[in-house]
Chain A
Amino acid sequence: MKPFNKLNATALPLRQENVDTDQVIPAKYLTAVTKEGMGDGLFSAWRYNADGSDNTNFVLNDPLFKGSEILIAGRNFGSGSSREHAVWALTEYGFRAVIAPIFADIFYNNSLKNGLLPVALPEDVVNMLWDLIEEDPTTQVAINLEAQTVTLPDGQTHSFDIDPFRKTCLQEGLDDLGYILAKDDAISAHEAEPAF
């Protein structure tokens, strides 16, 4: 997993609540047996017209926001299906962090396992960020994982919560499996004592 420490990048404002993982990556992209190629399917129902051309009305296709590495969305982002393909699509496309007022649990977990930082900020801050970025798409948003802060060019800083264990895993690029496998003795001891 690619470590995450600091990110200083432009952001993409997605003014939508309840963006479910079917919107992030529709079912037709789930037929793959590998993780590759998901970036092309990211937000495909919104991003492409029926004939396959780019829908220029969708913010992802707006040249002003090209190269954004931070996605800013409304509440309940990533709801619905457990498909990790949604995270693979976001990271392959180039996103490294998502800011939203609240995330769906499974999406939040999946993000952490792929080096995509989910940042929960209050709704009024998200609203303010949308306004600010739409006004000036070149706005640099600085995320500092160590300090757990999001800082804007004018110096205003907003703190976010993250579990300390998950934070370390992200900073060092560690995945869960090494930690779990090191508990082999405890796992075997548990297996030796059935519930009934």
Chain B
Amino acid sequence: MSGKTLFEKVWDAHVVSQETGAPAVLYIDAHLIHEVTSPQAFSELRTRNLKVRRPDKTFATMDHAIPTRQDVGIELWPADAATQVRTLRQNCEDFGVTLWDINGDVQGIVHVVGPEMGVTQPGMTIVCGDSHTSTHGAFGALAFGIGTSEVGHVLASQCLLQMKPKTFAITVDGTLGTGVTAKDIILAIIAKNGAGGGAGHVFEYRGSAIEKLSMSQRMTVCNMSIEGGARAGMIAPDQTTYDYIQGREYAPKGETWDRAIAYWDTLRTDDDAVFDRELFLDANTLEPMVTYGTNPGQGVSVTGNIPTIDELEDPAERRSLMSAMDYMDLTPGQNIAGQSVDVVFIGSCTNGRIEDLREAAAIAKGKKVADNVWGIVVPGSKAVKAMAEAEGLDRIFSEAGFEWRGAGCSMCLAMNDDKAGAGKYVASTSNRNFRGRQGPGSRSFLMSPIMAAAAAVNGRVTDVREMI
């Protein structure tokens, strides 16, 4: 019998019950909730007269709908966002759930705050009513997004009924060149394998280029597993992981820490384990990536061209390209570099951590955002914001002409008032280039933080390597 993959080890350790012909009852170690996808789940608990089984394993924050303008109190918020926040407060109070409130010191995008607080640990199962829960897989956790019905199931039982996904190894070997980042790795993977290519699978990112990434960079990669069609993506824990976790509020302490390390050390794919599918990528040849279309698989290197119709064989791909070109008002075959941008958004659970802001600030320092560009920088959490301000990054961005905001999801999904206008081109460090994702009628180019900073300064899509 062959060995086990990392995913299989974590899955097997959480199967509470497995009846023949039924999905597994899978135990959930940490449940993260936010204001948008939880209210109907709490209503369901009330209707059925159920409690939250493990409030100690449930953590709430507010991120999706909240304004990020820092001078606006809740009394001035749009009524529906205020209602969602007040509903979350009431639900957390009634059910005894820890809430990282916008009025407190700890708050931000749920996938930035969870790791910062040390809640996210190797070998855990972690869920949230948000598809970018895959972010936490960077720690060797099995982490995936769920719908609101499932949020209710986990609140009530700490378990989910789940079919076992298949395994998919993505090996990235080599060394990234200057100006090439973790964001470019994941955009290249999705461009190669397609936006739906990972359906039914859990990715495991491995190889020398992955091992060299920091935790922040690993989170960027795992975050966009969902854009590759996989519900989850995982990276085996190592010393980099342990160094990040140690000392954080919810991290194991003392003897428990030693036992944790001994267990976490076992969470590596066995040499003789077999994956259902595999894909290889050479980090040495990667270039900065930019998406040109309306799904995250429609990406090219910044030195490349949008494909022509003739280059695509599949009729469905051709239809997708034509439809995307029509929406984006771009031409098949054209260069992506040089394309003008109107708005620049730096932030999100993909690229809103301190390292992302440091890298973007290094490009923006001493320069000015182009006259025709509106740029906003939105830290992923209050902790990121505080660190950035202590380092003076806020001043670098402000002096360059960016708006410096409070923590939240902001223009990644444009649920609040941070919206690009209709027809506007957005250079964005977020994860989705769907039609209207960043405001009705908006057109997104996904890219890394340094590429976005370069686009802001030049007012067009630019190869950041020319500025380094």
Contact = CB atoms under 8 A, between A and B. Distances in A.
B358 interface: no
B203 to A, nearest CB: 12
Nearest to A81: B131
Contacts of B294: 18
Contact of B157 (A33, A74, A84, A177): A177
Contacts of B159: 180, 183, 187
A104 B229 contact: yes
B27 A76 contact: no
A33 B79 CA distance: 12
A74 B320 CA distance: 10
A175 B432 CA distance: 31
Interface stretch (B36-44, B275-283, B331-339): B36-44
A17 B17 contact: no
Contact of B87 (A22, A33, A109, A181): A33
Interface in B264-282: none
A186 interface: yes
A76 B195 contact: yes
A16 interface: yes
Contacts of A183: 16-17, 25, 157, 159
Contacts of B78: 31
B157 A164 contact: no
A15 interface: yes
A184 to B, nearest CB: 8
Interface in A96-133: 102-106, 109-110, 113-114, 123
Contacts of B149: 84, 110, 113-114, 175-176
Query: Most A CB atoms within 10 A — which of B36, B129, B149, B163?
Result: B149
A142 to B, nearest CB: 26
A120 B13 CA distance: 31
B96 interface: no
Interface residues of A, number: 57
B68 to A, nearest CB: 15
A187 B27 CA distance: 7
Contacts of B123: 195
Given A45-B440, A164-B21, A187 B158 contact: yes
B93 to A, nearest CB: 16
B84 A22 contact: no
B34 to A, nearest CB: 11
Contacts of A26: 436, 440
B200 interface: yes
Interface in B195-226: 195-196, 199-200, 226
Interface of A: 15-18, 20, 22-23, 26-28, 30-35, 45, 50, 74-76, 79-85, 87, 102-106, 109-110, 113-114, 123, 163-166, 175-177, 179-181, 183, 186-187, 189-191, 195-196
Of all A-B residue pairs in the complex, the 7 with the closest CB atoms, nearest first, are A76-B196, A31-B80, A84-B147, A110-B147, A33-B39, A82-B145, A196-B263
5 contacts: A22-B432, A31-B415, A76-B229, A105-B231, A186-B16
Given A76-B196, A76-B295, A187-B157, 4 more contacts: A16-B323, A35-B40, A183-B17, A189-B16
